[in-house]
Amino acid sequence: MNRATSPTDWKGNVMQTRIAKRYAAERRFKLFGLGAVLLSGAFLAFLLFVMVGNGARGFTYTHVAVPVDFKAMPLTIDAARLGDPDADQVIANAGLADIVAFAADEALGDGGSALISENAWKEVRSAIKDDPELLRGKTLFELPAASAVDVIAKDGGKGELAARVDALAKDGKLSTGIHWPFFKNADATDPAVAGIWGALKGSVLTIFIAFIIAFPTGVLAALYLEEYAAKNRWTDLIEVSINNLAAVPSIIFGLLALAVFINWFGLCQASPLVGGLTLALMTMPVIVIASRNAIKAVPPSIRDAALGVGASPVQVVFHHVLPLALPGILTGTIIGMARALGETAPLLLVGMRAFIGDVPGGICSPSTVLPMQIFLWSDEVDRGFVEKTSAAIIVLLIVLLSMNALAIYLRNKFEKRW
Residues that bind another protein (CB under 8 A): 230-231, 299, 301-312, 315, 319-320, 324, 416-418
CB of 294 to another protein, least distance (A): 15
CB of 323 to another protein, least distance (A): 9
Cβ 160 vs Cβ 396: under 8 Å: no
CB of 233 to another protein, least distance (A): 14
Q: Rounded to an integer, what distance in angstroms lies between the CA atom of residue 349 and that of residue 258? A: 6
Residue among 111 and 299 whose Cβ is closer to another protein = 299
CB of 308 to another protein, least distance (A): 4
CB of 42 to another protein, least distance (A): 42
Q: Rounded to an integer, what distance in angstroms lies between the CA atom of residue 115 and that of residue 100? A: 12
Rg (CA), the chain: 31
Alpha helices in 224-349 (DSSP H): 233-246, 250-257, 272-296, 300-308, 313-315, 322-341, 345-349
CB of 1 to another protein, least distance (A): 39
Kind of pairing, strands 60-69 and 174-178? antiparallel
The continuous run of DSSP H or E covering 16 comes out as helix 13-55
Residue among 7 and 300 whose Cβ is closer to another protein = 300
CB of 287 to another protein, least distance (A): 24
Residue among 154 and 303 whose Cβ is closer to another protein = 303
Cβ 187 vs Cβ 321: under 8 Å: no
DSSP 146: P
Residue among 199 and 330 whose Cβ is closer to another protein = 330
Residue among 3 and 417 whose Cβ is closer to another protein = 417
Residue among 170 and 231 whose Cβ is closer to another protein = 231
Residue among 69 and 236 whose Cβ is closer to another protein = 236
Residue among 258 and 321 whose Cβ is closer to another protein = 321
CB of 255 to another protein, least distance (A): 39
Residue among 33 and 299 whose Cβ is closer to another protein = 299
Kindly give, in sequence order, each residue whose CB lies less than 8 Å from that of residue 254, ignoring residues fewer than 6 positions away: 278, 345, 346, 347, 348, 349, 350
Q: What are phi and psi of 368, to 5 degrees?
A: -130, 180
Cβ 393 vs Cβ 57: under 8 Å: no
Q: DSSP string covering 362-388, please?
A: STTS----HHHHHHHHHT-SSTHHHHH
Residue among 78 and 415 whose Cβ is closer to another protein = 415
Angle between helices 322-341 and 384-414 (to 10 degrees): 170
Q: Rounded to an integer, what distance in angstroms lies between the CA atom of residue 294 and that of residue 305? A: 19
Shortest CA distance to 81 belongs to which of 92, 91, 71, 93? 91
Kindly give, in sequence order, each residue whose CB lies less than 8 Å from that of residue 160, ignoring residues fewer than 6 positions away: none
Q: Rounded to an integer, what distance in angstroms lies between the CA atom of residue 96 and that of residue 101? A: 9
CB of 394 to another protein, least distance (A): 41
Q: What are phi and psi of 152, to 5 degrees?
A: -65, -40
Q: Rounded to an integer, what distance in angstroms lies between the CA atom of residue 246 and that of residue 284? A: 8
CB of 297 to another protein, least distance (A): 13
Q: Which amino acid is at 252?
A: I
